[in-house]
Every structure is written in structure tokens, then in C-alpha cells.
């Protein structure tokens, strides 16, 4: 029995007359990549916003490693180690690629502003260590040539990688990725997939919303399909590919295994 | 219908397009394939007249248009479906459509606009039901329909689509592509700029590959689909990693070790 | 009862003035998302032009009115075409806000050059005889103002809701990229709305001219009132602008009638602060909120300049040696100006932490200077407290005010934050002038002792110079330590994208509060030193125009560079002293410099210098493999 990283229990959300999410339950096991797919408007982004408390659910509860997230602010949830990325890469403009990564490591800074301003050795050591790790991560994903370049001037593929790396630098206990492959070509998507698998295998579970089936089929351990706010199907990528309901509601045609 | 001759364009201190030659004929879908940053969106903007042309020519409907302002080019029958749906969220669907014919509003008059709106709604029945709703309330797929419908308000001779499949579910992408094919049947010339090489090459009559602001390959759509260099660069197959399971494994081990070292250091 | 009715009539009249300014501000805000501070400038130009055409040239009223409106609108269109519209495509909203502040300063300066500093009065259009309505005397001009306001409102309403042009204007505001692809000329429509705002301002200004005393800096008065009215009413609502204007006018007249005219202004400002806290979207509207992160830099591809650590150390050392040697290099008569430069730089330094790093706009920096200056000066002069303790007390008080204000501003973003700080500054302005018993009122506080540390008295400019220099070196070391590490990065992340920063676990409110506290305390320190240096402190030395001046210094010098502001402070402080003949043109030049710096020197003088060094050394390899990123569409 593996531990459950994230568990949604009967969450619901209405907007006006629209039931965006209806009595939805799912779990993200630790050490897994779970993909959340479904037609546009199925409620995937709403699920993300409910999990991070950007919206409060009308009913139901979200648990993160067993703790209820009900009364937590989005900031507190991030501080717990539940980190999300955004549909359009929200790289910090005006900062270099390395600085973006270091900003991600903010959660790990123990010697705060006062220590830094007085140039005290513990803060200096921490800063040097962060820098070393940031540079190592850029090197690892093949972006070291962009270290001191304004991150927003990077190609889209590199920006998406920087965004994922920035979240990884925070040392998260769960990553929520919102369409990380949107706008990437298939080659860039393959690079992203390799990174995601590695992130999973160092013990960071991932919940990913994605339309790019080649990414989903490549990396997901479990696929959850939403339609009109309801759970339509759940299973391994292989099962989902051949699920009649999923094909009708979402895929349109049977997907080739990639 | 559209012909670019040695087109050079870019931003203030940056030339992005270096001598582009492209031709789109009436009743033809021409796909433009390229990575992000290769210059696809820049090209769309240059054709629209939103970026200055440094050198070269844009021939549209048998006349040079590179010195004309955007509005004049649109009046000649050039319509755009810009990247990422670009609708005006707070305005109603009807007002969005109305603005689609903005460049011709004086020629058309109120009746003409109403007539075209009715014609466009025949193509997109879901829009008709929501004409008075704010465009921002439409779902992603409907917004993309609206963006295309808005372009058709001009009764264009050429439609330039920039990444119409971005962020859409597979079933919807298929629907949008069917729609593009049906536009061709009405005799509209189509320039389709896409990341999704697989699908766009499948429906294109001809295709160009753009890399770093230059056209590096051109040919028949299906023929390009079979080319190994296309498969490797744009379809994600045949890359060193995908070809060799051992290389994949080695890369994986390297990444895992690297990440572990980084996260558990200090 | 009669008195009450009379006050209400006065309030409605005054409110009409505010409403007209507010309408212009709302119009431009709807189209561009920019709070257009120059609006009041158009009003005063319209009014002053009317005076000149009527009294100096002897033209009949209708002709003079028409000519005044045409001249002002033409100038507005010219300024819009030369500055506002081209800048809109390149600058983030916060810079645009300050660009319009620069334009307002420019117009104030222009009016000073043309009309001088004396007040003017214009005759009422149809005689001074008030009209008796049911026993209440209504000035005849009131009917003109009401009628003209009504016509303006109807005109705007028709344009925005009933014409395709109005829809195109909405499209430009909401999605300029889409608008361009539809063949809408965004620049032209923006210019159109800017010029339309100038037209409204000119008509309104000319209409209200007879009931006001006109002076060159009246534009600031109009803008402040309009700004408050807009905020009270709701930022992007036309009816809200009118309601806000009327509400403000009546409230002010009631306060003046029943309490004291001294507090009328203060009351309005307190009202505004309360509104911002309670209903930031405005009192009268529950309109849809627009995106108003002022620093939405997403549409601007900001270049990044990062000189290496060694370059920085060497440059810092050279700069320090130069500053230390400076007193021996210049004429002794020049020393006091150098001291002022350094003192103001301390306030700019604080502003850099808040604006340059954290991306929050404060238009109330001079308010904190006043707090620090007056607290220290009053304690030292009247209560025999040592200057050091007085200075620290001022900083403590500023800290408290900053934290209290944070409670308001933490819920606010962008434009509203700028608004709250401006309100705070104006409130302090009215207190320093109004509390005559404590502050000495407009004539100022005299006999302030020199700064002293124990037995060491810093009496000469030379001594003061080295004291301030030492403080600055200390501050720079401390701030550099913070800004180069996690704290500074967190602030920059907040500036870049608040939502994404919060999603990374950065505590956004706490960081903003810290930046604001640092900013306020440094301003306070600067204000105290200012008072001890001058031995005199008057309200206009530390009033709102000074806030704009400090921003200009920062922007010209270079944001997020810490030391950059020094060059800005030096330029703005020393130039008028070096070239005495231009003193009359100082205000105009300051405005022009601010506007030009925003447009042509986005990284400031220091940024420009780094860029030059970097380019000549080819130290910034463009993106290595030649991949070209497509710029964000703008």
C-alpha cells in the first residue's frame, strides 16, 4: 500500500448555473505521475484551483498527505510543498534563468533578510549553496548556456523547462503541472517527459493536466478523465486509450500507442 | 493568392525573418511547420502588416501590399486567426463578429453585417445560440470557433491561422481541422501555421518548414510527412533518445542522480 | 436649513468640477488601463487659455471659449502623439502612471513660464447675479457647469455603447493584439481617446474657471480631486465618476461649512482611505474588476543586465573614493547642494527597494519625509530631545504609519496602491499646512538645531556631507546584502508576477510590507537630516511634488540598481543650481526629463551605462545558439 500524496474527497464547485466540478474523488499516490485529461471546459483547471484553494469548494475536502487543506490560504498550501505551474509559462520577466530557479528555492532559505543584509556567514554560505545547486540543475537539463540570459527571451521549450525546474528547486512534496507541453513541439515534449519521469523517481509525485496525448501516454502511471465536471474514467494509459466513453467524449479517434 | 518574395522582417533591433519565399494559391491549404521561436508568429504579423518589412515583397491578390497599412490589406480580403484565440472577452459574441468586419463596416453597412453574421452562424451553430453572451464565457473550443468565425466575417480570400490547435482537446482539434478543410472547399486560400506537424501535414496540400527565420524545406504535405528529418525534428520520433532504449535509460539515470544530488545538497 | 441647502448647492457645484475631471480620467482608464494624472493639467490650461483670450486679447466669450478648448485639445493631442501613445506600447502600467505624472509636472511648469505664479479670475458667463431657486441662491455659472457636464456625459455614453467605434475602443483596451489583427488602428484610437479626454478637460476647465481662483499649479489640484473622485466612485465606471465627484464635493463643503475649512481637504482624504480599505472597487459601483496589476511587465520584454561581481566592487570603490574626495574638488559654496543631493538620495534609495525591486508604486514618499522631518525637528527644537533620538523617533513613527498603511494597501494592487500612498501624502500635506500650532503652518518651522552625535555637532556643510556619506555607505552595504540574496529575489519575483511568486511559497504580503517599511523609514531618515541640515522646515519642502521628484530621480538614475538613484538625484538637484537662468523652467524641465527618461532610458542612466560597457566589451553573448525568441505581442 503506497502512501497517498493528494486525495480529493467528493469535491464540488458551482459557478452560477454551471456545475464545474461535481462530487469528484480521486487520489494521487506518492511516487506516481497522475494525468488529468478531459475536453475543454471539463473542469480540469477548476480542479487545480480547488486543490490550491484559489477557489473554495462548495462541498468536499482535499487532503495533502493526510492533512486537510480546508482552512489554508493558497500561500500556506504552497508553503506546505504543494507547488503548481501555470498554463502559460509564468517565468519571471526581468530575471535571468538562474535567478528564476533561485527564486523557486525561496522555501528553502532559512537565513532571512536580516541575516542577508548583515552579510552574516550562514546567509552567505546558504546563498552560495543555492547558486551552486541552481547552476547544477540548469546544467543537468541542458540549459546552462541560458544561465545569465533574461528568462523571457528563451525559446518556449526552454521556458517551460525553466518553470518546471523552478518548482523542483522549491523541493516540493507534490507538483501540479498545468499543460506543461502546450506550445511545445514533439521533440521538446520528449525532453520534458524525461524530466518529469526523473522528478517522479526521486520521490516527487506529479499531477498533470495535459492535452498532449503523447506526453500523457509516455509518462502517466494513472490517467483520470473528466467530463462536464464528473469523473468519466480512471485507469492506466493503455486502458484509457481503449475506453469507449473516453474516445467518444474526448479523444475522437483511438490513439496509437506512442 | 499570397506570395512572399525574399521577405525580411523583425522587431526593432532584431531581424527574425531572413528572406522568406512562400506561395499560397487559391483553394489550397499550405502548412507552415516550425518550432517555437522559428518565426511563425513573426511571419503572420509581417503578412498582416503589424511589423515592418525590411526587404522583399508581399504580393496579395496580384498586387504588392507590403507598404499598405493592416486595414487596407484586410480590406483586400486577408483575414487572420491570431495565436491563442485573441477574442475580446467582455464584448458579446455578436460584437466580436461585428468587429471582425470592422475594416469593411462602411462598405457593408448594418444590413450587410447582419447578413454575414447569419451566414457565419450557419457554419458555427453553437455560436448562434450564444450571440448575446460575453465571449469570455465561451469554452476554449468555442472561443477558437469564434476566432475563426470572426475572420470569416470578411468573406476573405485568404485566411491565416496561427496555432489553431493550441490548448484544445484532441477531439476538438480534429473538429477544427475538419473545418479548415471545409474552408478550402469554399475556395479560400489557407496558410496554416502549426506546432502540430502530424495533423497539419496530413491536411495540407503543400507545406514549408521554417527554421530560425528561414525556409529550410518545402514540398507536398504527405511527402514531407514521410521525410526522416521531419520525423526526427517535429514528430519526436527517431531522436537518439527515442530510438535507443539504452540511451533513454542512461539519460534517466543521469537525471535522477543529478536531481537527487541537487535536492539533497546543503 | 437654509444654510444647509446653500452648502449642498455649493457642494454640488464643487462636485461638478471634480466630476468633469473624473470623467476624463475614467475615459482614458477604460481605454488604456492607465490612470491619467495629466487630466487636471488640461483643465487648468483650458481655464487659463480662456482667461488670456478673453482678458488679454479681448475676444468675446464664445470665441475665447472655443479657442481655449481647441488650443488645449491640440496641445493634448500633440503630447499624446509624442509621448503617451508611443510609450503605451513599450512601458508597463506603473511607468505609464508616472509618465502622466511627468506630463502634469511639465504642464504645471509650462503654465508657470507662460502665466507666472499670480492668481487669475475669470468672469461668470452670464453675469455674477445668482439665480434664486425656491429661496436658495444658485450662482448662474452653476447652470452652465451642470449643462456642460450633462452634455459630456451623454456624449461619452453614446460613443461607448452605441457606436462600433466605441466597441473598437473596448477591443483596444481589452485585447490590443486581437484589435490589430482585425484592422483596428490601436495607436490611433488610443490617441483619439487621449485627445478626447483633453477636450473634455478643456471644456470642463473653461466652464468652471469663473468659480475658482486660477493658478499655474491648479492642474495638480484638479488631478488630485478627480483622482479621489474616481477612486470613490469606482475606477472604470462613468456614472461612478460623476457620483464620486458629487459625493466628494458635498462632503468637502459640509466639512468646511460645519467644522472648519482647514479640515475639508483632510476629511476628503480620510474618506478616501476609508473607502479604499472598505470597498476598494469604489463606493458606487460593483463593476467587473479589470486587470490592474500595475506592474504587469508581461507585455514588456525587459532586458536584464547583470554586471559581474568584480566589476561591481571596482565600480563601487571608484565611486566611493570620488565621493570622499569631492569636497576637496569643488567650490565650497557648492557644498550645501551636494549635501542636499545625498540626503535626497537616501529617500530615493528607499523608493528603489519598494519600486525598483518589489514593483510597488508609492506616490507618498514625501509624506514620510515630512513625518520624519517634522517629528525630529519638533522634538529637537521644542522639547530638547537630541537630534539622534528625534530622528529615530521619526523613523519609528514612519514605521508605524507604514505598517498601518500596509493594512490598507495589502489588499490593494497596482493602481489602488499608488492611490492610497498618494492619498497618504496629500493627507500629510494638509496636516503640515493646517496644524499651524504644531508645525508652524505654511511659514514653516524655524530654529532647528544642527545634527549632533554626543559632543560631535555637524554644523558645516562639510561635516554634514561626511555624515550623510557615511550613512549612505552603511545603507548601501546593508541593502546590497539583502538585494543580492533571497530577499531581493523574492521582491523581484513579486514585481514580475505576484501570482506565480505566491505559488512558489513566497509570502507576498509580508515581503511587500517589509519593502514598504524600509522605504518609509529611509524617507523619514532623509526628512530628518533635511530638517537638521536646513535648520528650517516648511510644508512645501516635503510635499507631494517632492514625491514625484524622487520618483523622477529614481527612474532617471535607474531602477533596481540601488546606486543609480544617486545620478538622478544629482542631475535634478544640481542642474538648476549650476544654471541659475533656468530656474524658472525647472518644473517644466523636470517634467520633460521624467517623460523622456521613461521613453528613451528605460533602465536609467546607470542601466544605459552598463549596457554601453557590456556592448563595447561584447560581454553579453546574445542567446548562444542563435535561437530567437519571439517577443511577447504588444
How large is the ipTM?
0.91
**Hey, is the C-beta of A130 within 8 angstroms of any chain C C-beta?**
yes
For B147, the grid coordinates are: 476566432
Q: What are phi and psi of A15, to 5 degrees?
A: -120, 110
Residue whose grid cell is 513579486: C494
pLDDT at C612: 75
Residue B57, SS3 per DSSP: strand
Averaged pLDDT score across all residues of chain C: 85
Residue numbers in A near C492 (CB within 8 A): 92, 94-95, 99, 103
**In chain A, which among 94-153 make CB contacts under 8 A with chain B?**
126, 129-130, 132-133, 136-137, 140-141
d(CA A187, CA A168): 22
| Residue of C95, C504, C629 best to disrupt the A interface, most CBs of A under 10 A | C504
pLDDT at C262: 66
d(CA B57, CA B17): 13
pLDDT at B235: 63
pLDDT at C370: 97
Separation in Å, CA of C548 to nearest CA in chain B: 31
Chains that touch A (3 or more CB pairs under 8 A): B, C
**In chain A, which among 237-256 make CB contacts under 8 A with chain B?**
249-253, 255
CA atoms within 13 A on the CB side of C202: 24
Averaged pLDDT score across all residues of chain A: 88
d(CA C26, CA C218): 20
Percent of residues, chain C, with pLDDT higher than 90: 41
d(CA B20, CA B5): 6
**In chain A, which among 15-54 make CB contacts under 8 A with chain C?**
52
CB contact under 8 A, C628 and B16: yes
Q: Are strands C131-133 and C136-138 parallel, antiparallel or unpaired?
A: antiparallel
Pick from C567, C572, C564: nearest CA to C590? C572
CB contact under 8 A, C504 and A170: yes
pLDDT at C539: 93
Mean pLDDT, rounded, for C357-380: 94
d(CA B50, CA B83): 14
How many CB pairs below 8 Å do chains B and C form together? 82
CB contact under 8 A, A117 and C493: no
pLDDT at C524: 98
**pLDDT classification of C338: cutoffs 50, 70, 90:** very high
pLDDT at B237: 54
Residue numbers in A near C508 (CB within 8 A): 75
CB contact under 8 A, B99 and C288: no
CB contact under 8 A, B140 and A40: yes
By CB neighbour count within 10 A (0-12 exposed, 13-18 middle, 19+ buried), where does C268 fall?
A: buried
The residue with greater pLDDT, C273 or A236, is A236
CB contact under 8 A, B37 and C177: no
Closest-approach residue (CA) in chain A for B254:
A140
pLDDT in tens, C32-43: 878 889 999 999
pLDDT at B94: 92
pLDDT in tens, A113-164: 999 999 999 999 999 999 999 999 999 999 998 898 888 878 778 888 999 9
Which residue spans within C87-180 are E strands per DSSP?
A: 131-133, 136-138
d(CA A211, CA B170): 7
How many CB pairs below 8 Å do chains A and C form together? 135
Q: Angle at Cα C137 formed by Cα C136 and Cα C138, nearest 5°?
A: 110
pLDDT at C470: 97
Question: For the domain that residue B106 is a member of, what is the CATH number?
Answer: 3.40.50.300
DSSP letter, residue A152: G
pLDDT in tens, C481-501: 999 999 999 999 998 888 889
pLDDT at C199: 95
**Hey, is the C-beta of A72 within 8 angstroms of any chain C C-beta?**
no
Partnered with residue A11 across adjacent β-strands are A24
pLDDT at B265: 61
By CB neighbour count within 10 A (0-12 exposed, 13-18 middle, 19+ buried), where does C57 fall?
A: exposed
Partnered with residue A13 across adjacent β-strands are A21
**pLDDT classification of C626: cutoffs 50, 70, 90:** very low
Residue C360 CA: distances (Å) to CA of A92, C37, C95, C395, C515: 16, 18, 11, 20, 9
pLDDT in tens, C180-234: 888 888 888 889 989 999 999 999 999 999 988 898 888 888 888 888 888 888 7
CB contact under 8 A, B102 and C175: no
pLDDT at C368: 97
- Cα torsion B124, B125, B128, B129: sign: negative
Mean pLDDT by 10 residues, chain B (266 residues): 90 81 93 82 89 91 90 91 82 90 85 91 88 83 89 92 84 88 92 85 91 88 80 59 73 91 75
Answer whether C582's CB lies under 8 Å from C589's CB. Answer: yes
Q: Are strands A59-64 and C136-138 parallel, antiparallel or unpaired?
A: unpaired
pLDDT at C38: 93
Separation in Å, CA of C554 to nearest CA in chain B: 26
pLDDT at C471 over 70: yes
B131-140, C119-128, C199-208, C444-453, range with the lowest pLDDT: B131-140
Q: Give the number of domains in chain B.
A: 1
Q: Which residues contact B12 (CB under 8 A, 6 or more apart)?
A: none
Q: Which residues contact B4 (CB under 8 A, 6 or more apart)?
A: B20, B21, B22, B23, B47, B56, B57, B58, B59
pLDDT at A101 over 90: yes
Containing structural domain, residue B107: 2-263
For C315, the grid coordinates are: 565600480
Backbone conformation region of residue C130, classed left if phi is above 0, alpha if psi is from -120 to 50, else beta? beta
**Hey, is the C-beta of A154 within 8 angstroms of any chain C C-beta?**
yes
CB contact under 8 A, C497 and A148: no
CB contact under 8 A, B169 and A211: yes
pLDDT at C602: 73
pLDDT in tens, C44-101: 999 999 999 999 999 999 999 999 999 999 999 999 999 998 888 777 777 788 889 8
What are chain C's domains?
2-285 (1.10.3470), 309-617 (1.10.3470)
Closest-approach residue (CA) in chain A for B38:
A155
pLDDT at C244 over 50: yes
**Hey, is the C-beta of C629 within 8 angstroms of any chain A C-beta?**
yes
**Count of CB atoms situated within 10 Å of the CB of B145:** 25
pLDDT at C1: 59
pLDDT at C295: 31
Residue C530 CA: distances (Å) to CA of B197, C375, C451, C453, C524: 67, 12, 10, 16, 10
Residue numbers in B near C171 (CB within 8 A): 88, 91, 99
Residue whose grid cell is 490611433: C188
d(CA B256, CA C7): 77
pLDDT at C261: 67
Residue numbers in C near B103 (CB within 8 A): 182-183
Closest-approach residue (CA) in chain B for C301:
B11
pLDDT at C634: 32
Residue C197 CA: distances (Å) to CA of B53, C27, C40, C202: 34, 7, 10, 8
Q: Which residues contact C169 (CB under 8 A, 6 or more apart)?
A: C30, C31, C159, C160, C189, C192, C193
pLDDT in tens, B193-229: 987 788 888 899 999 998 888 998 898 888 888 787 7
pLDDT at C485: 92
pLDDT at C465: 97
For B223, the grid coordinates are: 511527402
Chains that touch C (3 or more CB pairs under 8 A): A, B
pLDDT at C264 over 80: no
- Cα torsion B54, B60, B65, B68: sign: negative
pLDDT in tens, C339-350: 999 999 999 999
Residue B5, SS3 per DSSP: strand
pLDDT at C237: 80
Closest-approach residue (CA) in chain C for A156:
C629
**Hey, is the C-beta of C170 within 8 angstroms of any chain B C-beta?**
yes
Residue numbers in C near B100 (CB within 8 A): 182
DSSP letter, residue A13: E
CB contact under 8 A, B99 and C174: no
Partnered with residue B32 across adjacent β-strands are B193, B208
The residue with greater pLDDT, C506 or C173, is C506
* A182, A183, A201 ranked by CB distance to B256: nearest: A201
d(CA C170, CA B212): 36
CB contact under 8 A, B266 and A157: no
CB contact under 8 A, B91 and C181: no
Give chain A's end-to-end CA distance (angstroms, integer).
Answer: 30
d(CA B39, CA B32): 10
**Hey, is the C-beta of B247 within 8 angstroms of any chain A C-beta?**
no
**Hey, is the C-beta of B217 within 8 angstroms of any chain A C-beta?**
no
Residue B233 CA: distances (Å) to CA of A104, A190, C121, C557, C578: 31, 11, 75, 47, 64
Packing angle of the helix pair C2-32, C164-174 (nearest 10 deg): 70
CB contact under 8 A, A183 and B163: yes
Mean pLDDT, rounded, for C552-572: 89
Q: Which residues contact C218 (CB under 8 A, 6 or more apart)?
A: C40, C43, C44, C47, C48, C111, C212
pLDDT at C285: 54
CB contact under 8 A, B258 and A251: no
Residue whose grid cell is 494592487: C413
Residue whose grid cell is 464635493: C249
How many CB pairs below 8 Å do chains A and B form together? 125
d(CA C187, CA C203): 24
CA C49 to chain centre: 25
Q: What pTM does this model have?
A: 0.85
d(CA B32, CA B197): 9
Enumerate long-range contacts of C76-83, CB under 8 Å, 24 or more apart. Answer: C76/C42, C76/C194, C76/C195, C76/C197, C76/C198, C76/C199, C76/C201, C76/C202, C77/C191, C77/C194, C77/C195, C77/C198, C79/C38, C79/C103, C79/C106, C80/C190, C80/C191, C80/C194, C80/C195, C80/C198, C81/C191, C83/C595, C83/C599
Residue C627 CA: distances (Å) to CA of A137, B15, C623: 21, 12, 7
DSSP, residue by residue, B135-147: GGGS-HHHHHHHH
Question: Which helix (DSSP H) or strand (DSSP E) does residue B207 occupy?
Answer: strand B206-211
CB contact under 8 A, B141 and A171: no
For B170, the grid coordinates are: 484532441
For B79, the grid coordinates are: 483575414
pLDDT at B13: 67
CB contact under 8 A, C485 and A116: yes
**Hey, is the C-beta of C474 within 8 angstroms of any chain A C-beta?**
no
Amino acid at each position: 500500500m503506497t502512501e497517498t500524496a493528494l486525495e480529493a474527497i467528493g469535491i464540488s464547485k458551482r459557478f452560477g448555473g454551471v456545475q464545474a466540478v461535481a462530487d469528484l474523488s480521486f487520489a494521487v499516490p506518492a511516487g506516481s505521475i497522475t494525468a488529468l485529461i478531459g475536453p475543454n471546459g471539463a473542469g480540469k483547471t477548476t480542479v487545480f484551483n480547488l486543490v490550491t484553494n484559489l477557489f473554495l469548494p462548495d462541498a468536499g475536502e482535499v487532503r495533502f498527505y493526510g492533512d486537510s487543506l480546508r482552512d489554508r490560504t493558497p500561500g500556506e498550501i504552497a508553503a506546505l510543498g504543494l507547488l503548481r505551474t501555470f498554463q502559460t509559462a509564468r517565468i519571471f520577466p526581468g530575471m535571468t534563468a538562474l535567478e528564476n530557479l533561485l527564486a523557486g528555492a525561496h522555501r528553502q532559505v532559512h537565513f532571512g533578510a536580516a541575516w542577508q543584509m548583515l552579510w552574516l556567514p550562514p546567509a552567505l554560505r546558504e546563498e552560495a549553496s543555492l547558486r551552486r545547486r541552481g547552476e547544477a540543475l540548469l546544467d543537468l537539463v541542458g540549459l546552462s548556456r541560458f544561465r545569465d540570459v533574461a528568462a523571457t527571451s528563451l525559446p518556449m521549450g526552454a521556458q517551460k523547462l525553466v518553470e518546471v525546474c523552478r518548482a523542483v528547486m522549491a523541493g516540493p512534496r507534490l507538483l501540479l503541472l498545468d499543460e506543461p507541453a502546450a506550445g511545445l513541439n514533439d521533440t521538446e515534449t520528449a525532453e520534458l517527459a524525461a524530466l518529469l519521469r526523473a522528478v517522479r523517481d526521486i520521490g516527487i509525485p506529479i499531477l498533470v493536466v495535459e492535452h498532449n496525448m503523447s506526453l500523457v501516454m509516455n509518462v502517466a502511471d494513472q490517467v483520470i478523465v473528466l467530463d462536464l465536471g464528473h469523473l468519466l474514467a480512471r485507469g492506466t494509459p493503455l486502458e484509457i486509450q481503449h475506453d469507449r466513453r473516453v474516445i467518444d467524449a474526448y479523444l475522437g479517434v483511438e490513439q496509437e500507442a506512442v | 493568392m499570397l506570395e512572399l518574395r525574399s521577405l525580411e522582417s523583425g522587431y526593432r533591433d532584431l531581424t527574425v525573418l531572413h528572406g522568406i519565399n512562400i506561395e499560397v494559391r487559391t483553394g489550397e491549404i499550405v502548412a507552415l511547420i516550425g518550432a517555437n521561436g522559428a518565426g511563425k508568429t513573426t511571419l503572420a504579423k509581417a503578412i498582416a502588416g503589424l511589423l515592418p518589412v525590411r526587404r522583399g515583397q508581399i504580393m496579395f491578390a496580384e498586387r504588392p501590399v507590403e507598404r499598405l497599412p493592416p486595414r487596407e490589406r484586410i480590406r483586400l480580403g486577408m483575414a487572420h486567426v491570431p495565436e491563442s484565440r485573441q477574442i475580446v472577452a467582455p464584448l458579446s459574441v455578436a460584437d466580436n463578429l461585428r468587429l471582425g468586419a470592422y475594416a469593411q463596416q462602411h462598405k457593408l453597412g448594418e444590413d450587410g453585417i447582419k447578413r454575414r453574421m447569419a451566414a457565419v452562424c450557419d457554419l458555427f451553430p453553437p455560436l448562434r445560440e450564444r450571440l448575446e453572451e460575453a465571449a469570455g464565457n465561451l469554452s476554449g473550443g468555442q472561443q477558437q470557433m469564434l476566432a475563426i468565425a470572426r475572420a470569416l466575417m470578411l468573406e476573405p480570400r485568404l485566411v491565416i491561422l496561427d496555432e489553431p490547435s493550441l490548448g484544445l482537446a484532441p477531439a476538438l482539434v480534429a473538429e477544427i481541422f475538419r473545418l479548415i478543410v471545409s474552408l478550402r472547399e469554399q475556395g479560400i486560400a489557407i496558410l496554416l501555421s502549426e506546432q502540430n506537424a502530424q495533423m497539419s501535414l496530413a491536411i495540407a496540400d503543400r507545406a514549408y518548414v521554417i527554421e530560425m527565420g528561414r525556409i529550410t524545406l518545402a514540398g507536398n504535405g504527405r511527402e514531407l510527412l514521410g521525410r526522416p528529418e521531419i520525423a526526427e525534428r517535429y514528430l519526436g520520433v527517431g531522436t537518439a533518445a527515442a530510438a535507443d532504449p539504452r540511451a533513454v535509460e542512461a539519460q534517466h539515470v543521469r537525471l535522477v542522480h543529478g536531481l537527487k544530488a541537487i535536492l539533497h545538497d546543503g | 436649513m437654509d444654510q444647509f441647502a446653500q452648502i449642498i448647492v455649493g457642494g454640488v457645484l464643487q462636485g461638478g468640477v471634480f466630476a468633469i475631471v473624473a470623467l476624463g480620467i475614467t475615459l482614458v482608464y477604460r481605454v488604456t488601463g492607465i490612470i491619467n494624472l495629466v487630466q487636471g493639467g488640461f483643465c487648468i490650461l483650458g481655464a487659463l487659455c480662456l482667461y488670456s483670450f478673453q482678458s488679454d486679447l479681448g475676444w468675446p466669450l464664445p470665441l475665447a471659449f472655443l479657442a481655449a478648448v481647441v488650443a488645449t485639445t491640440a496641445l493634448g493631442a500633440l503630447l499624446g502623439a509624442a509621448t503617451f501613445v508611443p510609450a503605451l506600447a513599450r512601458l508597463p502600467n506603473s511607468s505609464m502612471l508616472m509618465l502622466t505624472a511627468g506630463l502634469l509636472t511639465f504642464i504645471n511648469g509650462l503654465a508657470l513660464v507662460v502665466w507666472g505664479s499670480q492668481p487669475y479670475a475669470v468672469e461668470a458667463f452670464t453675469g455674477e447675479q445668482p439665480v434664486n431657486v425656491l429661496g436658495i441662491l444658485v450662482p448662474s455659472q452653476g447652470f452652465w457647469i451642470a449643462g456642460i457636464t450633462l452634455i459630456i456625459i451623454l456624449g461619452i455614453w453614446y460613443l461607448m455603447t452605441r457606436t462600433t467605434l466605441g466597441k473598437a475602443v473596448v477591443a483596444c483596451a481589452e485585447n490590443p493584439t486581437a484589435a490589430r489583427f482585425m484592422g483596428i488602428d490601436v495607436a490611433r484610437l488610443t490617441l483619439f481617446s487621449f485627445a478626447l479626454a483633453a477636450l473634455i478637460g478643456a471644456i470642463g476647465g473653461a466652464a468652471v474657471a469663473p468659480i475658482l481662483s486660477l493658478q499655474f499649479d491648479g492642474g495638480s489640484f484638479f488631478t488630485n480631486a478627480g483622482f479621489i473622485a474616481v477612486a470613490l466612485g469606482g475606477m472604470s465606471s462613468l456614472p461612478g465618476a460623476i457620483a464620486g465627484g458629487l459625493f466628494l464635493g458635498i462632503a468637502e463643503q459640509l466639512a468646511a461649512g460645519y467644522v472648519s475649512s482647514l479640515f475639508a481637504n483632510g476629511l476628503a482624504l480620510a474618506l478616501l482611505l476609508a473607502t479604499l480599505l472598505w470597498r476598494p472597487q469604489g463606493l458606487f459601483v460593483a463593476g467587473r474588476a479589470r486587470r490592474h496589476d500595475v506592474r504587469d511587465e508581461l507585455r514588456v520584454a525587459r532586458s536584464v543586465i547583470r554586471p559581474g561581481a568584480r566589476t561591481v566592487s571596482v565600480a563601487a570603490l571608484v565611486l566611493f573614493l570620488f565621493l570622499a574626495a569631492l569636497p576637496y574638488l569643488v567650490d565650497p559654496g557648492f557644498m550645501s547642494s551636494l549635501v542636499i543631493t545625498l540626503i535626497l538620495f537616501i529617500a530615493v534609495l528607499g523608493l528603489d527597494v519598494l519600486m525598483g525591486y518589489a514593483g510597488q508604486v508609492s506616490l507618498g514618499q514625501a509624506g514620510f519625509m515630512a513625518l520624519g522631518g517634522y517629528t525630529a525637528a519638533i522634538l529637537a527644537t521644542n522639547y530638547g530631545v537630541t537630534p539622534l533620538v528625534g530622528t529615530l523617533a521619526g523613523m519609528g513613527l514612519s514605521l508605524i504609519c507604514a505598517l498601518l498603511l500596509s493594512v490598507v494597501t495589502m489588499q490593494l494592487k497596482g493602481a489602488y496602491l499608488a492611490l492610497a500612498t498618494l492619498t497618504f501624502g496629500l493627507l500629510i500635506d494638509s496636516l503640515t499646512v493646517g496644524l499651524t500650532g504644531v508645525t508652524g503652518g505654511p511659514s514653516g518651522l524655524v530654529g532647528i538645531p544642527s545634527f549632533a552625535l554626543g559632543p560631535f555637532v555637524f554644523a558645516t556643510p562639510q561635516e554634514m556631507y561626511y555624515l550623510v556619506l557615511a550613512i549612505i555607505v552603511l545603507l548601501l552595504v546593508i541593502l546590497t546584502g539583502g538585494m543580492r540574496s533571497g530577499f531581493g529575489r523574492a521582491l523581484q519575483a513579486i514585481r514580475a508576477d505576484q501570482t506565480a511568486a505566491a505559488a512558489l511559497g513566497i509570502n507576498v504580503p509580508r515581503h511587500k510590507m517589509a519593502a514598504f517599511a524600509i522605504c518609509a523609514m529611509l524617507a523619514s531618515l532623509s526628512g530628518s537630516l533635511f530638517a537638521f541640515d536646513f535648520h528650517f522646515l516648511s510644508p512645501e519642502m516635503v510635499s507631494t511634488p517632492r514625491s514625484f521628484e524622487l520618483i523622477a530621480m529614481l527612474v532617471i538614475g535607474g531602477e533596481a540598481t540601488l546606486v543609480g538613484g544617486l545620478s538622478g538625484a544629482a542631475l535634478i538637484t544640481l542642474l538648476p543650481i549650476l544654471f541659475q537662468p533656468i530656474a524658472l523652467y525647472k518644473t517644466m524641465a523636470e517634467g520633460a526629463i521624467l517623460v523622456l527618461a521613461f521613453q528613451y532610458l528605460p533602465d536609467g542612466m546607470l542601466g544605459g551605462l552598463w549596457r554601453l560597457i557590456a556592448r563595447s566589451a561584447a560581454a553579453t553573448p546574445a542567446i548562444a545558439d542563435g535561437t530567437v525568441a519571439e517577443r511577447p505581442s504588444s
